[in-house]
Amino acid sequence: MTPDFIRGATRYLFFTGKGGVGKTCSACATAVALADAGLRVLLVSTDPASNLASVLGTPLGREARPVAGVPKLFALNIDPNQAAQAYRERVVGPYRGVLPAESVAAIEEQLSGACTVEVAAFDEFTSLLGGGGDEGYDHVVFDTAPSGHTLRLLSLPAAWSDFLDDHPGGASCLGPASQLESQRAHYEATMRRLADPTQTTLLLVSRPETIALHEAQRTLDELSRQGMTNALLIVNGVPRAQSEDLLAVALEGAAQRAITDMPARLASLPCVLLPLRPRNILGLPALRGFFADETRADPEASADLGLPTKARPLARFVDDLADRGHGLVMLMGKGGVGKTTVATALAVDLASRGCPVHLTTTDPAAHLEEALGASVEGLRVSRIDPEAETAAYRRKVLADSAELLDADSLALLEEDLRSPCTEEVAVFHAFSRAIAGAEDEVVVVDTAPTGHTLLLLDATGSYHRELIRKLGDEAALTPMSRLRDPDFTRVFVVTLPETTPIEEASSLVADLERAGITCGGWVVNRSVSLSGSDDPLLRARAVAEAPLLADVATRAGKLAILPQLADAPIGPEKLLRLVGSAPRPASTPSASPLHA
């Protein structure tokens, strides 16, 4: 059955939410339904780690391409790096052959930051909202990046407008301010269009989980402040027990409690509940059935659910770090795969062994305290908050410069520090401090979703290259050199036993290798295969997992598999069991999750 929001759809449909909740499937299924109804539709991904092509089964690029099998549907990916390259060329191109080569190179270096990538992506995004790129389409459906990244994207117009009001001349790290000024009216028109309830609908996608629903509420609050108030809630993957199996019944109960107890403002929105499916949503047949209330499973009862022999409890991954008592542990991966839970569990395990541990996050949508549930001796928790870090960075730079600059120069510096690009620098400095702290303690970093993290690593790499260029071997010990040292840094890639998350994890490992960073191991989270469930729906999902886990085993040097649990592993005791360590002190060891 086609939901009401599709039958009465506004022209622009804006899907957003925490990573891994099903935004892409929801957006794709909506776009297919609209196109099947005879409407001309453009489907756009703004996610740096987009899996749009995998879900649709169609290769995509920066230009709109027809989707095979859906005559009136077209799709494209906004690739931030390609957009940034085109943006740089628009800025630098007019100066080639006019200015000396050294000056042109200096401009290119000025435009090498991650903020250039963000604004270039926003340029392409706005071109599809009344900027000419949406001509000829009845509907434009946006599949956005995870919440924190999307909120940052939509905050850029106001941030740059404030900067231009205070700094109308001169230059910024995005080129001449006059060039940005020419885009101001276009950006403001874009935000007005997003805020117009007759043109745009905000579709908040969530899982039936307390943390995910609270994240949806925070996103709703933030976007409402930017004027986007025409909203609808989609709760995806609601489990329905098909037997008396304890896990299946517990999962259904936990989901219903989360839905019943969701924040009041979220609960006031129109809501679409979608069931948990027996298999992954890939390809047009699955998308066309996405909104159907159908969860029948026909699992292969005799299928081999054997786990890869190389899989080990997660606690084995950090034995050497516990022995050393210091170092850096980074959890990376697509949004929604459980990085925060795994990072918190590792931190609790290390602290329980007597290590001094600092657990921190670079994720704008962080919820470490919610995952931890209680204080743990030897473990301190922090968050790299972009706003707080930027304010502190501005204060420090102005204080350090107060005695060195005259009043006019100090005022000019203060104007420069109002640039939104200052946030990039401030967050990089905070990240660098966390890395430096790993000399004396174990620092566990819960990173932002993949695309955001790669931008941060890009900034780290740019800083490294600049110091090497200026100082040569004297600059050998940089944050990037620390990240490249496998004896100092352990990077664990977290994924789910599903096709698209595994492919994205593999791409992330390749990106890390190109940056000279070694992947220390893979963590596959929420495996139904470990549960031993006989529920038909869960059994079907376990059957679908088996070849995927075997595939991961061929890609991973080290592998840990964590079970699907009946409820969230909140609190030190549950977190230790998830890792595969017994709560300390304990008379007998708990069962390893590998054999739970």
- In DSSP terms, which residues pair with 204 in a beta bridge? 16, 233
pLDDT for position 593 = 38
Q: 236: part of which helix (H) or strand (E)?
A: strand 231-238
Cβ atoms within 10 Å of 436's Cβ, excluding its own: 14
Q: Which residues of 347-367 are buried (b: 16+ CB within 10 A; e: fewer)?
A: bbbbbbbebbbbbbbbbbbbb
* Contact indicator for 295, 535 with CB cutoff of 8 Å: no
Indicate the SS3 state at residue 306: coil
List per-residue pLDDT tens for the chain, 596 residues long.
Answer: 678 889 889 999 989 887 778 888 999 999 999 999 999 999 988 776 667 777 887 788 778 889 989 999 999 887 767 777 777 777 777 777 777 777 777 666 666 655 566 667 677 777 777 666 667 899 999 887 655 556 556 666 555 555 555 555 544 444 445 555 556 677 777 778 888 999 999 999 999 988 789 888 988 988 888 888 899 999 999 999 999 999 999 999 999 999 999 999 999 999 999 999 888 788 888 889 888 876 665 555 445 566 777 788 888 888 877 888 889 998 988 777 888 899 999 999 999 999 999 999 877 666 788 878 888 899 999 888 878 888 888 888 888 888 877 887 777 777 667 665 677 777 778 888 888 888 899 999 888 755 555 555 555 555 445 544 554 554 456 777 888 888 888 999 999 998 778 888 888 888 888 878 889 999 999 998 888 788 999 988 888 888 889 999 998 888 999 988 877 788 888 898 888 765 544 333 333 333 32
Residue 264 burial (CB count, 10 A): 7
| AA letter at 294 | E
Q: Supply 357's token pair.
A: 């541990």
* pLDDT value of residue 503: 81
What is the rounded distance in angstroms from the CA atom of residue 314 to the CA atom of residue 323?
A: 16
Burial class (CB in 10 A: 0-12, 13-18, 19+), 262: buried
In whole angstroms, give the CA distance from residue 189 to residue 498: 39
Rg of the chain on CA atoms, in Å = 24
In angstroms, rounded to a whole number, what is the distance separating the alpha carbons of residues 170 and 105? 18
Instruction: DSSP letter for 447, please.
Output: P
Judge contact between 210 and 568, C-beta under 8 A: yes
302 CB-near residues (< 8 Å, 6+ apart): none
466 three-class SS: helix
Interatomic CA distance for residues 101 and 62, integer angstroms:
30
Tokens (6 digits) for 528: 């139904």
Q: How far apart are CA 205 and CA 221, in angstroms?
A: 14
- Which pLDDT score is estimated for 153? 60
CA distance 49 to 558: 24
- Both tokens of residue 271? 């809501």
Among 370, 306, 315, residue whose Cα is nearest residue 577:
315
Contact 362, 449 (CB under 8 A): no
- pLDDT score, position 306: 63
- Cα-flanking dihedrals φ and ψ of residue 502, to 5°? -70, -40
pLDDT at site 420: 57
271-275: strand order across its sheet: 65-66, 73-77, 41-45, 139-143, 12-16, 200-206, 231-238, 271-275
pLDDT value of residue 594: 35
pLDDT for position 300: 54
Q: pTM of this prediction?
A: 0.71
3-state secondary structure of 243: coil
CA distances from 261 to 107, 372, 451 (A): 53, 20, 32
Domains of the chain: 4-87+119-169+184-288 (3.40.50.300), 314-585 (3.40.50.300)
Other CB atoms within 10 Å distance of the CB of residue 119? 29
- Look up residue 35 and give its amino acid: A
Cα-based distances in Å from 36 to 133, 352, 432? 22, 56, 50
For tokens 């290259």, name the residue. Answer: 465
Other beta carbons within 10 Å of 484: 17
Distance CA 549, CA 306 (A): 9
Do residues 45 and 24 lie in contact, with contact meaning Cβ atoms separated by under 8 Å?
yes
pLDDT of residue 346: 93
Q: How many CB atoms lie within 10 A of CB 63?
A: 8
How many other C-beta atoms can be found within 10 angstroms of the C-beta atom of residue 502? 20
In 3-state terms, what secondary structure has residue 273?
Answer: strand
Question: What integer pLDDT is reported at residue 168 of this predicted model?
Answer: 52
Please state, in angstroms and rounded to a whole number, the distance separating the CA atoms of residues 376 and 436: 23
Which of the 8 DSSP states describes residue 595?
Answer: G
End-to-end CA gap in the chain: 39
Distances (CA, A) of 481 to 131, 317, 484, 507, 516: 43, 22, 5, 22, 9
Please state, in angstroms and rounded to a whole number, the distance separating the CA atoms of residues 509 and 520.
10
